[in-house]
Structure 1
Amino acid sequence: MTDREKLIAKIRALTAKTVAAGCTEAEAMAAAEKVAALMRDHAVSETVIDMEKASIGVKFDVRSIKTRVCTAVAHVTNSAMVHLREGRDKTVIYVGAAPGPQIACYLHDVLHRAIEGGVKEFRKGAFYKARRSDKTRRKAVEDFVDGMIRSLVCRLLLMFRANISTARGDQARAALDEMFPKARMVRPKEAKARFADATYAGDRAGARVNFRHGVERGGVAGLIGKAGA
């Protein structure tokens, strides 16, 4: 936990000291004054205090085309995301109003597992096996993944279109900027397709993924908040 995260945790603990929670009026007033001073002295906004965050470990780098999945997941859950690397450990953190970040991690896991499964099946196929070098095989997998990601992202946006709120997304991005002031924008590398057949295979694989059933059983749909809310 960073110093800023400790500060935010302290502020949240102080805001919980209310009369309704069993504190005296004097204790609640003292806590409120301390909160105001901490927020003023450390430039912490109310938006950050109201936000939650959830993280999930990843194997890919920040410039991988797989980060497009993370961006889409953040968008449909009215969250914002940041990709962190500490040594060999890589993590994606989602920030937003609850339960957005928790739902984002769930969707993240579902979609990336689907991609991993799709790649395994693709490597068993005739097209992949027909490539004669490690380089062309890697490129075939990259094109397959690109096609699968495009398909999954389109389905995700369609499925959650009624939940997307520009206002909530903006608040999440503002909170993320405040939580991670040193973070910078890094664009995923451009996918330059070489094997159209691999891309089409990825698109078809993405269309076959039955993530709607898992989402509905998990109680995800409808929990994020309607657009404009």
Structure 2
Amino acid sequence: MSERLDAVKTKIRALRARTVARGCTEAEAATAMEMAARLMRDHGLDEADLEMAQVECQRPATAKAHARDRLAAVVAYCTNCAGLKTIRWGGARCFFVGPAPLAEIAAYTRDLCEAAIDRELRAFQRTPAYTRKRSQKTRGEASRAFVEGMVSVLALRLRDAFRGQRNEAIAARSGAWLDRLEPDAASVGKAKPTRDPRAADQGAAAARRVELSAGVGADRRDGALDGPRRLIGGPA
């Protein structure tokens, strides 16, 4: 049903794009507007339905509270979206809700950051700082601390990359749309910090090495970002 409704929304947007300014005659533009209005009535859609989108990230989320949740929250803030984590029998998934292009950029950015964390974590787990740990518990704590360090630095770098793009009005609309979609959604609890400062420092250093470039137009001040761009460099 969702895919079918998305197809209807796409058709409505295409019809509404048929304007005189884009080369259509007045009669063609009027007919297109009438068809778009009829589709909206038939499917119970309003303007918010056409503007907003819910985009699922390709990479799964963690079922339990984790430092990675903070990364998703920062991405949502930077892109004027609202973040959502759902936990089902099939696992945990991460979504972003907001104006269609922004939600797409948010999911794209979060997935690329997650890919960078996974890549650097694998490299860290081959170092003596990890392999010399004698128990699975201490190794798990080292891994979590490493991710915490990466997330802390990536959060700062993302805020810098998206500087000037925050728009409270758009963010409020995104939040209101999330409330409409998921009225029973609750805030994600914060993960307890680990106590392995050495691993956290190595995670922070790894985050500083990640290639990060601005993915927004420098001249945009309305909170609308340019089309998705590659923010995190290196192989996935």
TM class by shorter chain equals 0.7 to 0.9
State the SS of the aligned residue for 1:58. coil
Match in the other structure for 1:209: 210
Contact (CA 8 Å) 2:66, 2:191: kept in 1 or not?
Answer: no
| Distance across 1 between alignment mates of 2:105 and 2:32 | 36
State the SS of the aligned residue for 2:70. helix
Residue 79 to residue 223, structure 1, CA distance change in 2 (3 Å): farther
Per-residue Cα deviation, 1:142-166 (whole angstroms, up to 9, x for no partner): 1111111011001101121211111
Matching residue's letter, 1:48: D
Contact (CA 8 Å) 1:70, 1:81: kept in 2 or not?
Answer: yes
- Of residues 9, 32, 39, the one that matches 2:37 is 32
- Of residues 144, 149, 152, the one that matches 1:150 is 152
TM-score by length of 1: 0.78
1:37 positional shift: 7.8
Deviates more, 1:61-70 or 1:140-149: 61-70
Match in the other structure for 2:231: none
1:105 positional shift: 2.1
Contact (CA 8 Å) 1:163, 1:224: kept in 2 or not?
Answer: no
Contact (CA 8 Å) 2:67, 2:148: kept in 1 or not?
Answer: yes
Per-residue Cα deviation, 1:43-62 (whole angstroms, up to 9, x for no partner): x6532321233222333325
State the SS of the aligned residue for 1:95. strand
1:23 positional shift: 5.4
| Distance across 2 between alignment mates of 1:31 and 1:227 | 27
Contact (CA 8 Å) 1:85, 1:91: kept in 2 or not?
Answer: yes
| Distance across 2 between alignment mates of 1:110 and 1:161 | 19
Residue 68 to residue 172, structure 1, CA distance change in 2 (3 Å): same
CA RMSD of aligned residues (A): 3.0
Unaligned runs of 5+ in 2: 225-236
State the SS of the aligned residue for 2:58. strand
Per-residue Cα deviation, 1:92-126 (whole angstroms, up to 9, x for no partner): 22222242122112211221111011111111112
Matching residue's letter, 2:217: G
| Distance across 2 between alignment mates of 1:33 and 1:89 | 39
- Once the two structures are aligned, what percentage of the paired residues are identical? 26
Contact (CA 8 Å) 1:94, 1:104: kept in 2 or not?
Answer: yes
State the SS of the aligned residue for 1:204. helix
| Distance across 2 between alignment mates of 1:11 and 1:204 | 44
Per-residue Cα deviation, 1:5-25 (whole angstroms, up to 9, x for no partner): 756764664576568476585
State the SS of the aligned residue for 1:138. helix
Aligned pair 1:226/2:221, yes or no?
Answer: yes
Per-residue Cα deviation, 1:122-145 (whole angstroms, up to 9, x for no partner): 111121122110011001111111
Contact (CA 8 Å) 2:80, 2:170: kept in 1 or not?
Answer: yes
Q: How many residues align?
A: 216
Residue 136 to residue 162, structure 1, CA distance change in 2 (3 Å): same
Contact (CA 8 Å) 2:80, 2:223: kept in 1 or not?
Answer: no
Match in the other structure for 1:191: 192
Match in the other structure for 1:122: 124
